[in-house]
Amino acid sequence: MSLNYNINYKLILPAAVLVVILALTGGFLLYQNQKNANKNTPAGQDEVKKVVEEVGKLIDLPAGEVPTLATVVDISKLKDQPFFQKAKNGDKVLIYSNAQKAILYDPVAKKVKEVGPVNVGSPSAQIAPLATPLKITILNGTQTVGLASKVEEELKNQVADLQVVFKDNAKKTSYEKTAVVLLNPALLDRARNLAELLKASLTGLPEGEEKPEEGDILIILGKDKT
């Protein structure tokens, strides 16, 4: 679907500075982004589109909606809020009012740091972090020592809410391609995202492997990750 980035932000106040007021658990916090003060300027539209495209490569985004874009300018006022624990000045926040989702993104590291629900009102929005992390089991299906730990670190740098609950060697060490196995049917979209991120296939549990006791998603590493 083609989206028009020349939009009317409901959360933008009629001033020379983009202001988004977020009512978080500790009170009212202020974002300012002078570069995007005029939502109808080509520069403002281009930045929204750029951030959406970058984040869309990491996670599935709500369809049919252009988000409000805000920039963290004073992290010292946000550090006591759970949603912003990993944030720094310059990070971006995509706020999808219809889908009621907020995404914290680091445009330098190209990393999604946090995703949480948001209830947008006027003139404030409530944001909270996800309560449950994405639990992953990683099995090394190769003879390369330490591959599971290497991939774990790479994934944690790209997926903020990911938690590796178990690592071990697979039953076989001759896997050519990395496989992503969905263990929790409710997280199909997350499994697809991981498969795309790893450039792997989303498959059923390979013959000879045992279903792990823990985890929402199982990743079996192949030689393509060595």
Q: What is the pLDDT of residues 32-69, one digit of tens each?
A: 333 333 344 455 678 888 999 999 999 989 888 888 88
Domain with 63, as residue range(s), is 18-127
Per the DSSP assignment, residues forming a β-bridge with 69 are 94
Q: What is the average pLDDT score of the chain? A: 76
Residue type, 28: F
- Contact call for residues 66 and 5 (beta carbons, < 8 A): yes
Is 8 domain-assigned? no
Is 4 domain-assigned? no
118 and 173 housed in the same domain? no
Residue 152 CB coordination number (10 Å)? 17
116 and 182 housed in the same domain? no
Domain count, the chain: 2
For the chain, helix (H) and strand (E) counts, in that order, are 3, 12
Rounded to two decimals, the pTM is 0.49
Final residue of a structural domain among 110, 127, 144: 127
Q: What is the pLDDT of residues 116-156, one digit of tens each?
A: 887 555 444 445 554 467 899 999 999 999 999 999 998 88
